[in-house]
Every structure is written in C-alpha cells, then in structure tokens.
Amino acid sequence: DKGNHRHFMAKEIHEQPEVISHTLSNYLDMANGRVSIPDLGIDLATVPRVTISACGTAYYAGLVGKYWIERYARVPVEIDIASELRYREAPLPEGGLALFVSQSGETADTLATLRYARANGQRIASIVNVRTSTIARESDAVLPTLAGPEIGVASTKAFTCQLSALACLAIALGRARGAISEEQEQELVSALIEVPRLISTMLVDETPYVELAHLLSKARDVLYLGRGLSYPLALEGALKLKEISYIHAEGYAAGELKHGPIALIDEAVPVIVVAPEDDLLEKTISNVQEVAARGGQIVLISNADPEKIGCELAAHIKIPDAHPLTYPLISAVPVQLLAYHTAVLMGTDVDQPRNLAKSVTVE
C-alpha cells in the first residue's frame, strides 16, 4: 500500500524519520545517552581489523561505516565490493571481524563473500533488513535494521537505517577501545537522536527538487562530488539517479576532480556537490570553484552560507545544521529526492526500473 504517495519510493523516503528512529532505539539507551549493541561474540577492544563487504547502496553505507569506525574507534577497516573481495581472495587477519550489509540478506555475492570470510576464520556479523534471510541465518551476530519491507527497487530507507546501525556500531567500538570518552559517547548519541526530526524538516517542501528536475532531466551526464563522509553520498546520489532516471551519473571524490573528470565539465554538465559544513568544507569549496571556472552548473547541497562558496550556483539545497557525525544521514535525503523527482518528470517506472531486480540472487 502506497498510502497517499504516488510511488513506493516516495512513501519509503517519507518513512525515514520513523524507521531511523525505530532502528536507533534498538541500539541506543536513550535515557542514559549510551549505545548498546548486541554481543558480537568477539572482544571489541582487541579486534585487529574490521572487513566490510556489500553490493550497491549497501556497499556505500558500508563505506560511510568505514569512515566512522576509523574516525571514532581508530580500528583499521578494509572494505570492498562483495564480487571483488571474494575473487581476489583477500587475506583476512586472524580473529578479525567481517561485517556484511544487505537489505534483502539474499544477495548472491554478499553471501558468497560471507562464506569466504567464515572459511578464513572471521567472526561474522551482518546488518540486514530481512531477519529471516540467508545472510542473517549464516551470521554469528545480526544487527537488524528496522526499515520494514522496502518495495522500491531503488533503496532509500534501508540505506539510512543501515547508516543508523553502523553509527551505533562505530560508537560501541570506540567506547570499547577507549578511543572516545563517556562524554563523547553521550554527545554522539544525542546527535543521532536528533536525526529523525532533522530529516522530517527536509520532507516538508519538495518544490526545489521538482524545479531542479528540469535541469537534471535535460542533462546527458551528471557529476556528483563529495569529500570525506560525503564521498559515499556522492556515489549513492549518482547510483540513485542512474537507476531510476537512466541519466548517466558518476560520483567522484572531490579531490579526484582534477585527476580526470574535470575534462567532462562544460555548461551542459550539472555538478551536484554534497558539502555540509564540516572540517572539509574549505577543501571542497576550492573544487567547486574549479568547476565554476569551467562553466559547470553547480547544485550545492549544504548548510553553509552560499556566500562562502564565492561563485555562482545553479541552485542551493539547504540542509539543516547538524553534528558532523550525522551529515551522511541528513545528506541522503536530498540525493534521494533529486533522483526521484527527475525520474517522475521523465516518466520512468520509478519503483520498477528497467533491467533491475530488487534482490540480486545470481552472480
């Protein structure tokens, strides 16, 4: 049932405040400002490395997880796409933790990589949305996402719920290793608790996206840029747009711009920049100016004052001020809505795009 929405994807985007809240409440002791994740059957204080693997959007959630775990827990994290990790026969450290992220819990490559990790002595944990799935059953420990059934082929609410669980895991690891103090834990937990409300404020008025859809729908190529925690969001934004609008889109780390993709930029190329006000903003601004100098049409997704950018913008999508930990969750919403409204304008089958299956159970 789509409720009063035109597509399941729209309904699922709008469900995010509620399902993120559900997922967080599973991993947070809200009253005391603490995280409480299930026992993974491994000593979090001494785990030598975390290896994360997944496909598609779940992989991008994992990439955010890597940045969080490295930053807040100072544990080395390796991450790779499941179809690569399993075939390159990556060496895995003794006593390591392997973490798999999957909405369906049935993705063939992710499952095969899980089995590879088990055969190579890893403790297996998974973040899955379908509790009864094969990946959940074959894991030593499961961190469920409570997104509810996701019908739209383009993943939206499952992604932000995966991020919610990963943030809690990163904080738990950080505490176990003494990388963050009890006060820092409380600060991060309060930041997460704010997320559902902040996301609700972004779902009130979608007219800016409807207008921007006109710009994007005319483009042949669209570039998404982000740095640090926003880099996986650039990748996710590009994937969402190509999946449902069939417009060629690429996500790039902002710092890589001058190593190649800048050659693509001219007046016809919209460049979506995910740049919340964090400690990397200044660096990203210099990349934005390089794009502007070549006539690119810049769509800025940020809470920063556009005056700071120092160049003309085609549009500014304002996000709310938030704790730096939570910007990946906040920025997910504008990239989803941009893709959604562009696809609606173009008249594609938003919930069931061509050539795609909800669950990829073959290699």
For CA atoms 108, 93, 35, 232, give the dihedral sign. Answer: negative
Choose the catalytic residue: 2, 242, 318, 358: 358
Structure tokens at 220: 């042949």
Q: Which member of 12, 185, 243, 278 binds ligand M6R (CB under 6 A)? A: 243
CB 166 within 8 A of CB 173: no
Place of tokens 């299956």: 357
Q: Draw the binding track, 109-138, toward ligand M6R (x: CB under 6 A; -: no contact).
A: -x----------------------------
Closest separation in Å from C-beta 189 to ligand M6R: 26
Q: Which member of 21, 104, 122, 164 binds ligand M6R (CB under 6 A)? A: 104
- Asked if 81 touches ligand M6R (CB under 6 A), the answer is no
- Asked if 58 touches ligand M6R (CB under 6 A), the answer is yes
Report how far residue 269's alpha carbon sits from residue 205's, in angstroms, rounded to the nearest whole number.
Answer: 26
Local structure of residue 309 (DSSP, 8 states): G
CB 270 within 8 A of CB 299: yes
- Asked if 62 touches ligand M6R (CB under 6 A), the answer is no
Local structure of residue 74 (DSSP, 8 states): -
- Interacting stretch for ligand M6R, rule CB under 6 A, among 50-58, 138-146, 306-314, 322-330? 50-58
Which residues are paired to 152 by β-bridges?
none
192 conformational bin, left if phi > 0, alpha if psi -120 to 50, beta if neither: alpha
- Assign 245 to helix, strand or coil: helix
- Asked if 153 touches ligand M6R (CB under 6 A), the answer is yes
- Interacting stretch for ligand M6R, rule CB under 6 A, among 7-15, 52-60, 174-182, 302-310? 52-60
Report how far residue 298's alpha carbon sits from residue 291's, in angstroms, rounded to the nearest whole number.
Answer: 8
Indicate the residue whose CB is closest to ligand M6R: 56
- Interacting stretch for ligand M6R, rule CB under 6 A, among 85-93, 103-111, 136-144, 269-277? 103-111
Closest separation in Å from C-beta 312 to ligand M6R: 32
Decide if 2 is catalytic.
Answer: no
CB 289 within 8 A of CB 262: no
Cβ closer to ligand M6R: 154 or 299? 154
Q: Which member of 155, 230, 303, 342 binds ligand M6R (CB under 6 A)? A: 155
Angle separating helix axes 16-27 and 182-202, nearest 10 degrees:
160
- Residues belonging to the active site: 358
Write out the residues near ligand M6R by the rule CB under 6 A.
55-58, 102-104, 107, 110, 153-155, 239, 243, 356, 359-360
